[in-house]
Structure 1
Amino acid sequence: MRPRNENKELAVRQKALELIVKEGFDGLSMHKLAKAAGVSAATIYIYYQDREDLILQLCEEENQKMTEATLAGFDPDMHFDEGLKVQWLNRAKYCLENPLSMHFLEQIKYSPLHEKVRARMDPRFHEAMRRFVSNAIQRQELVPLPIEIYWSMAFAPMYQLVKFHMSKAGMPGRGDFVLDEAKLNQALALVLKALKP
């Protein structure tokens, strides 16, 4: 068995991310990936059993990075306003610094592999979010909502602003859009107002 080469493994992961984001999961073949990464197809099989194993390991790694970034400086016992602000700033920063990862994780959400990915996610993230929301409801800082409505209200506005920024365009006919902390805080204030009892 050939030894692992960290540089080749990193090149394979990076090119896999790029191919999936650009061409979707159907655009990822081991042959195409090997060519893009400058390695042989046999080299890829040193690191991954098959295409699905590659995608799942890649997703697990990217989810872990996002979890670490999101939870930096966050405490589930924080006041809701403060905790949501920390999450917004952390999530926005991570997405802006890691656009391929953001697009890749978004694609995974709508793929047949989503349930397998969820089973492999770091449980600390979900537990921290559950405690944060539960604490905020108990302290009457947050109106009780179904989780899907809560998430849509609490985070979708931030992610949409990040997407506007990344596309370098706002609404049609409005020209460039640049997301700065003032715009993020303005949107966050509206979200917090909507979520309070």
Structure 2
Amino acid sequence: MRTRDANKEIVIKQKAIEMIVSQGFDGLSMHKLAKASGVSVATIYIYFKDRESLLQQLYKEESIKLADATLINFDPESHFDEGLKVQWLNRMNYCMENQISMTFMEQFKHSPMVDRSVMERRFIDAMSKFVHTAIAREELIPLPVEIYWSIAFGPLYQLVKFHISKTSMPGRPPFVFDDEKINLTLSLVIKALKP
């Protein structure tokens, strides 16, 4: 039996994410991945049972990285304005520093392959406590989670995408998500969510 090499596994994962981002899920075959990673197809199967298990593992690992980044200096009992700002800045910084990962997560999140059970319990518990505490303090209006998330984070992720892709609305110069625009957008989001 062949031994595992952590460096090869890292390269395989990185190349898989890059291929998915550049060519979509259909562009990822084990043969193409092996060639891009500089390993044999058999080597990939030492680390991953099949293509689907590779994809699920990638999504799980990238989700954990984003969750960990989001929770840096975050207190679920903080006041709503403060806690949302910490989350915004953490999420934004992670996405800006990990653009390929962010694009991969976005693609995977909207695919039928996504396994929603992979979210880390610590992250879910912290977010739930934060929202319920803010509602109890009357700092946040009670909303279905999908509406809350869309208002709280939808603008952030869309503006990050504009910034990363150096685009904007048609006929406009490339969007730059600077401190002034971050603060303006966050203040509008908080205003929309307050009672």
TM-score by length of 1: 0.96
> Is 2:89 the partner of 1:61?
no
Cα deviation code 1:23-60 (max 9, x no counterpart) = 11111110010011111101101100000110111111
User: Out of 105, 113, 116, which is 1:118 matched to?
Assistant: 116
Using the alignment, how far apart are the partners of 2:109 and 2:167 within structure 1?
24
Rounded to whole Å, the distance in 2 between the matches of 1:52 and 1:124 is: 25
- 1:146 aligns to what? 144
The answer to which of 151-160 and 2-11 deviates more is 2-11
Cross-structure match for 2:194: 196
Letter in 2 for 1:175: P
TM-score under structure 2 length normalisation:
0.97
Q: How does 1:159-178 map to 2 (within 5 A)?
A: 159-178=157-176
Residue by residue over 1:159-186, the C-alpha shift from the partner in whole angstroms, topping out at 9 and shown as x without a partner, is: 0110110111221111122111221111
Which residues of structure 1 form unaligned runs of 5+? Answer: none
Number of residue pairs the alignment of both structures matches: 195
1:83-132 per-residue CA deviation (whole Å, 9 max, x = no partner) reads 00000000000001111111111111121221xx2222211111111110
2:98 is the alignment partner of 1:106:
no
Moved over 4 A (4+): none
2:64 aligned with 1:74, yes or no? no
1: CA distance, partners of 2:119 / 2:88 = 20
- Root-mean-square deviation (CA), in Å? 0.9
Q: Which amino acid counterpart does residue 10 of structure 2 have in structure 1?
A: L
Structure 1 partner of 2:184:
186
3-state SS of paired residue (2:170): coil
- For 1:49, the equivalent position in structure 2 comes to 49
Residue type of the alignment partner of 2:186: L
Specify the code of the residue in structure 2 equivalent to 1:132.
F
Give SS of 1:155's match.
helix
Supply the distance in 1 between the matched residues of 2:130 and 2:32 (Cα, whole angstroms).
43
Q: Percent identity?
A: 64
Q: Aligned partners of 1:112 and 1:45: how far apart in 2?
A: 23
2:120 maps to 1:158: no
- Counterpart residue number, 2:29: 29
Structure 2: stretches of 5+ with no match in the other structure: none
